[in-house]
Amino acid sequence: MTKPINELAEEWLRLDEDKSTTDEIYKLLVQGNNEELEKRLRNRIAFGTAGLRGPMQAGFACMNSLTVIQASQGLAAYLLENEENVKHRGVVIGRDARHNSEKFAKLTAAAFAAKGIKVWWYEIPTHTPLVPFGVRELNAAAGVMITASHNPAKDNGYKVYWSNGCQIIPPHDNGIADAILKNLKPVAWDTSVVDNDCLLVEGALGLVRDSYLTAIRAAVRPEGFSGTSSPELKFVYTPMHGVGLLPMKLCMENLGLASQMIVVEAQAEPDPDFPTVKFPNPEEKGALDLAIQVADDASVSLIIASDPDADRLAVAENASGTWHLFTGNQLGILLASYLYEVYPKSKPKEKLAMLASTVSSRMLHALAAKEGFHFTETLTGFKWLGNVGLYLEKQGFDVVYAFEEALGYMIPSVVHDKDSISAAAIFLTAVSHWSSQNLTPYSKLQQLYEHLGYFEDANTYLISPSPSTTNAVFMAIRALGTPHPIQLGTRKILRWRDLTVGYDSESEDHTPDLPVDKSSQMITCELEGGARFTVRGSGTEPKIKLYIEYVGESHTVAKAGAEEVLQHLLKEWFKPEANGLKLA
């Protein structure tokens, strides 16, 4: 039987001891605003492989003190059941500089301490990759990072890393979600355990960060490395009002590049309101405008940028007077080509491995096929890239790199997650290497196109009014043919892989080569003529994402092919006007 909304509100007021959020619910009750109460209280914020993420408001559906405590209690209980020696090994806790991040991190620490679990505490805001690095470095049972990455200022999140230093994958997400529901009554609101000398809470940032910087240096300049940094190398860096400046400065000092970095001062210090950008995401149009202005004033032709929690990296280059913002796919293949080029000739090439997710460019696959090293495709997200990377290492592969098109780059010898700092260190070393060949990143990219073919994309997204609309649209797409549609526009569909229903036209028994997830929509198709696309429902936003790539004999042909496929998808499959979808 469905509980009346007033009962849910009373339950909230009984459990919540944070005055700011109890006041919110109390005011809504007094106003009789049942519609807003329903939005806030009826459904619980979902715990998935990305942990929690949502707006900071009162209510079971949002990010707030109560839902953070409940998530922490559930995670603690699940760890005690499923990992060994949890109380001694402990949990690493970090946070970014968003509104409420410090409070949420302290409440998380208090919840673990209340269960007798040691807390490895990062004393100041730091970048996300330092949490998974710390988990491996300290042999901790898990890690929690309080961050909403590049989401708007009103959001926050709770990201979980398992004992292997990777983001969680099934079945841990469901196991933790179930454990949360069994541990809803808060046992600790007192955050003084962090500020006072509690034996269970130990500051760990200094120790872990030193080891992290050493790991980056070893990745950039391995034994036998003979490269040198170009004294002409100058670059502008923006942390986008996030936490990236300190780790980037320390990393550049460690590599002897600090004097060659110019910082965008207006975006240098953490500011949870992100005042100079519409969205704190370097992928968004206009996000690098200030950095470009600083670069132009200083006559510098290279920009690097982190998102607010400094796990994503963006790069732009002034190529012949025009600023070129590299896509995630372009930067992805540039880093891969460099790591392949400097890979020791003494090591067996067939054991070298690189990875990319299914929504990313196939250009890395083409490089691997041409040069004879191993390539593996994974599902979307670094939870898969990290875990599959670890699996390949156990199989005897030397996994040196993984990337995803959304500006994520993983250097596994440092951390099994995306990391803008280690990726920037590799990239800047590559820039010096290319410079010795009279190449810039942009001209190196053109060289790679000539070598591998011209890969162009037409990626975009549709805003969906509801999950039910998204599901209905995908059901209608599947109904266009039996067992699947055979044509899009004038092109035949050569391969149909549906990871929602579990069908792959290419395999003998039609079983897909990647894990099936009935709870999320994802279809990949290969078309005649050199086109490939993946369409999927986003797990964290009300969006349907379209990733379209076309390979042709020139940029013009490839771009036109990708755009044509996009138009056919919109007209024949997604029908925005008829389905109430809004094109980005």
- pLDDT (tens digit, 0 to 9) for every residue of the chain, 584 residues total? 789 999 999 999 999 999 999 999 999 999 999 999 999 999 999 888 789 999 999 999 999 999 999 999 999 999 999 999 999 999 999 999 999 999 999 999 999 999 999 999 999 999 999 999 999 999 999 999 999 998 999 999 999 999 999 999 999 999 999 999 999 999 999 999 998 888 999 999 999 999 999 999 999 998 778 777 888 899 999 999 999 999 999 999 999 999 999 999 999 999 999 999 998 999 888 999 999 999 999 999 999 999 999 999 999 999 999 999 999 999 999 999 999 999 999 999 999 999 999 999 999 999 999 999 999 999 999 999 999 999 999 999 999 999 999 999 999 999 999 999 999 999 999 999 999 999 999 999 999 999 999 999 999 999 999 999 999 999 999 999 999 999 999 999 999 999 999 999 999 999 999 999 998 999 999 999 999 999 999 876 789 999 999 999 999 999 999 999 999 999 999 999 999 999 98
What residues contact residue 472 under an 8 Å CB cut-off, 6+ apart? 579
Q: Are strands 582-583 and 460-463 parallel, antiparallel or unpaired?
A: antiparallel
98 is written with which tokens? Answer: 């968003």
CATH match for 71-211 among 3.40.50.970, 3.40.120.10, 3.40.50.300, 3.10.20.600: 3.40.120.10
Domain edges within the chain = 71-211, 329-450, 455-583
Please report the pLDDT score of residue 166 as a whole number: 97
Please report the pLDDT score of residue 224 as a whole number: 75
- H/E run at residue 14: helix 5-15
Asked whether 155 and 100 are in contact (CB, 8 A), the reply is no
- Reduced to 3 states, what is the DSSP secondary structure of residue 526? strand
Please report the pLDDT score of residue 300 as a whole number: 98
What residues contact residue 336 under an 8 Å CB cut-off, 6+ apart? 354, 364, 367, 401, 403
Cis peptide before 542 (omega within 30 of 0): no
* Total length of the chain: 584
Annotated catalytic residue within 149, 337, 422, 464: 149
Say how many CA atoms lie within 13 Å of 416 toward its Cβ. 23
What's the angle, vertex CA 570, arms to CA 566 and CA 574, rounded to 5? 135
What residues contact residue 415 under an 8 Å CB cut-off, 6+ apart? 129, 132, 133, 136, 165, 212, 215, 422
Q: Which of 28, 1, 2, 32 is nearest to 13 (CA)?
A: 28
CA distances from 298 to 244, 262, 293, 485 (A): 22, 9, 9, 54
CA distances from 499 to 289, 462, 475, 536 (A): 39, 20, 13, 10
- Reduced to 3 states, what is the DSSP secondary structure of residue 300? coil
Please report the pLDDT score of residue 541 as a whole number: 74
349 is written with which tokens? Answer: 């090439």
> 469-475 contacts: CB < 8 A, separation 24 or more?
469/579, 469/580, 469/581, 470/521, 470/537, 470/544, 471/521, 471/537, 472/579, 473/544, 473/573, 473/574, 473/579, 473/581, 474/500, 474/521, 474/523, 474/537
Same fold, 71-211 and 329-450: yes
Please report the pLDDT score of residue 226 as a whole number: 76
3-state SS, 542-573, equals: CEEEEEEEEEECCHHHHHHHHHHHHHHHHHHH
Residue 149 is among the residues annotated as catalytic for this protein? yes
Architecture per CATH, 455-583: 2-Layer Sandwich (3.30)
Phi, psi of 154 (to 5 degrees): -75, -10
Please report the pLDDT score of residue 77 as a whole number: 98
CA distances from 308 to 25, 159, 218, 244, 267 (A): 30, 15, 26, 7, 10
Q: How far apart are CA 331 and CA 328, in angstroms?
A: 5
Query: DSSP secondary-structure letter at 48?
Result: B
pTM: 0.95
Please report the pLDDT score of residue 539 as a whole number: 72
End-to-end distance of the chain based on CA atoms, in angstroms?
40
Q: Which of 319, 320, 316, 337 is nearest to 407 (CA)?
A: 316
Phi, psi of 257 (to 5 degrees): -115, 5
Say how many CA atoms lie within 13 Å of 17 toward its Cβ. 10
CATH C-level class of 329-450: alpha beta
- Four-CA torsion 481, 485, 487, 489, nearest 10 degrees: 90
* Identity of the amino acid at 253: E
